[in-house]
Chains A and B, each alone.
Chain A
Amino acid sequence: MTELLQQLINGLSLGAIYALIALGYTMIYGVLRFINFAHSEVFMVGAFVGCYIGRLAGSVTWWSGFGALGAAMLVCGILGFIIEKIAYRPLRGAPVLNVLITAIGVSLFLQYGGQLVFGATPRTFPELFPVRHFRLGGLDVSSNQVIVMIVTVVLLVALQLIVKHTRLGTAMRAVALNPQAAQLVGINTGTVFSFTFVIGSALAGAGGVLYAMNYPSIDPLMGVMPGLKAFVAAILGGIGSIPGAALGGLLLGSAETLVSGSQFSTYKDAIAFGILILILLLRPSGLLGRPGVEKV
């Protein structure tokens, strides 16, 4: 029983990171209707920004931790803005396939550009937050795991508030529903697109820092696997749905951890993608997605 509970804690803290990345996928899809495959590389850049800031800070305090997290979100937000402006905006109105190929191109560009800038050798991620271990009965929880979960919940709630209760959030929902009509009633769709990218990328940056905190060895190709998993999580929860992305991330993280701890550990990646195939077959709109949401 202890083992199962411990595995669930491990799974939830991994799933929380998947959820953060999945939120970015889902938001961008929800508003712009395309999958931003470069998202996992923004995640990688976030981890590296966290690494540099952590090294700069020197001492390990709560300030250095949140400073690094904030800086990563800021830099990734700006990176997201630039990516949207340079790579995707000129393709507005082009067929979806063109945008998709561009996304893959941006992703490869960042992977190999990252190898040039940061070097291909894995780096050690410094400690950002003061680390403590808690023992509750037979369960071990590290402060890093708690931080991951708290930060995820806070960002999730903040995102939900922005989308539901601000003017820009309302504009985002309007564009998601019908971009042409939104434009007709005076919404600046360009601003909405930029804003969506900035927020989605900032979330990926936070995810990168949190992931590297728990698995402190980072390299320019580190985003590929977590990015794919988060993509699966977004589909699982229903792409376009914010609570869906969170749920998908948590479910996928838990499932992966439970499989890893069993005798079938070598199949854990296969199971993640097995879930993707099953969901696409049985419930293409995902667990919390609404079918037939695509109207033009």
Chain B
Amino acid sequence: MPLLPRKTALLLSSLAAALAFAGCAPKDASAPTTVKIGNLASITGKDASFGQSSTKATRLAIDEINAAGGVLGQQIELIFEDTQSKPGEAAMVVKKLVTRDHVVALIGEVISSRSIEAASVAQTLKIPMLTPTATNPAVTATGDYIFRACFIDPFQGKVLAKFARDDLGSKRAAVLTSTSSSYSTGLSKVFVEQYTEAGGEVVADQKFAEGDKDFKAALTAIRAANPDVIFVPAYYTEASLIAKQARELGITVPLLGGDGWEAPELFEIAGDAVEGCYYSTHFSADSTDPKLQAFVARYRARYDGATPDCMAALGYDAAYLLVDALRRAGSTDPVKIKDALAATRGFEGITGRIDMGPDRNASKPATILKIQNRKPVYVKTIAP
């Protein structure tokens, strides 16, 4: 026991001591009452749509698991933290969750840049972290405690470059990259490589910084280069403003994006400007898979009829994936959870079959969606 105060000290600090004992209780007791899992995401700020979708579905999954009896004979307690879409916040939140709340594993963050930040802290503290949606390769490269439930950007970039060349028949592509986001620079690098390799030409390579609102200058330069397609590896906030301003400048070619586009706000802000554009993602709510449809129905029932997007589907899968690992580990020991996660094979998630690769990345197919009448419509699935 950390505290064995003498009688006098006990008298003086009875309240403080009582609080301290209360705080230690779950850890010290022989049978803890709950399994604590930390969940960190951007619930507010510019990437809020991702964090909200993802955590809503994670919460839904955990409630289902608890209703079915929990894990290891205990209920799961999900502890939420908001990273506010701010740099620096993710690292702080992980420290808090691990050292103060004593979580046994983490689900999150949703954005690549902040996941990289969170991953380095989780790795140092040796707590397994499973990001549902961060696609930048550097996230899991941080160390052997970091996993992800989604595919990685090199794959996504390759799929999009191939789609732009073969399916859209484009010859000239322009790229508009955010220099301050790992997600954007990673995707754009692979896209440019693969597109050029496939015989296409990248005619304009413009840059912006996160938080920019005026893209007309870069778009005017792109318009002058006369591309067949514009690749916009940005998150929805910027992508929708870019689409809107592109149409204002009379640019009519389709824009192409990654899973960062996946948010209802895209259609709300951009409106008709994104009609006929394409993006790659992890799943389509149109799919006829009964398991997926059952999830869509449960999500709608719980969240006022909202249709789950890919962030929700991945948040849901991440929760089940982690609980599956906890079951197989048979313990809440972080080392055992980590080993069980690494040994995941043939896990049937709603976003597809998940096999954890040697580099702790899930190997999964990508889905291409086209925007028609302000709704994403399924185009095709491209396997790894």
Contacts and interface: CB of A to CB of B under 8 A. Distances in A.
Q: Do A and B come from one complex?
A: yes
B45 interface: yes
A261 interface: yes
Contacts of A259: 217
A217 B237 contact: yes
Interface string B46-69: 101000000000000000000000
Q: Give the size category of A's interface with B.
A: 35 or more
Interface residues of B, number: 30
Given A140-B250, A217-B240, A260 B268 contact: no
A3 B220 contact: yes
B241 interface: yes
A122 B237 contact: yes
Given A217-B213, A266-B179, A124 B220 contact: no
A261 B221 CA distance: 6
B248 interface: yes
B206 interface: yes
A120 B218 contact: no
Contacts, number: 85
B249 interface: yes
Contact of B46 (A115, A135, A219, A261): A219
Nearest to A265: B207
Nearest to A121: B48
A183 interface: no
Interface in B198-216: 206-209, 211, 213-214, 216
Given A10-B216, A217-B213, A120 B265 contact: no
A258 interface: yes
Nearest to B221: A261
B250 A261 contact: no
A216 B214 contact: no
A217 B250 contact: no
Contacts of A14: 214, 216
B213 A7 contact: no
Contacts of A295: none
B84 A261 contact: no
B269 interface: yes
15 contacts: A3-B223, A7-B217, A120-B44, A122-B45, A122-B46, A122-B265, A124-B269, A133-B248, A215-B213, A215-B241, A217-B241, A219-B46, A260-B217, A261-B217, A261-B218
Interface of B: 44-46, 48, 84, 179, 206-209, 211, 213-214, 216-218, 220-221, 223-224, 237, 240-241, 244, 248-250, 265, 268-269
Given A140-B250, A258-B217, A261-B220, 10 more contacts: A3-B224, A10-B220, A120-B48, A124-B265, A140-B249, A144-B248, A217-B269, A222-B213, A256-B214, A266-B209
Give the 7 A-B residue pairs with the shortest CB-CB distance, closest first. Answer: A260-B217, A215-B213, A120-B44, A261-B217, A10-B216, A140-B250, A121-B48
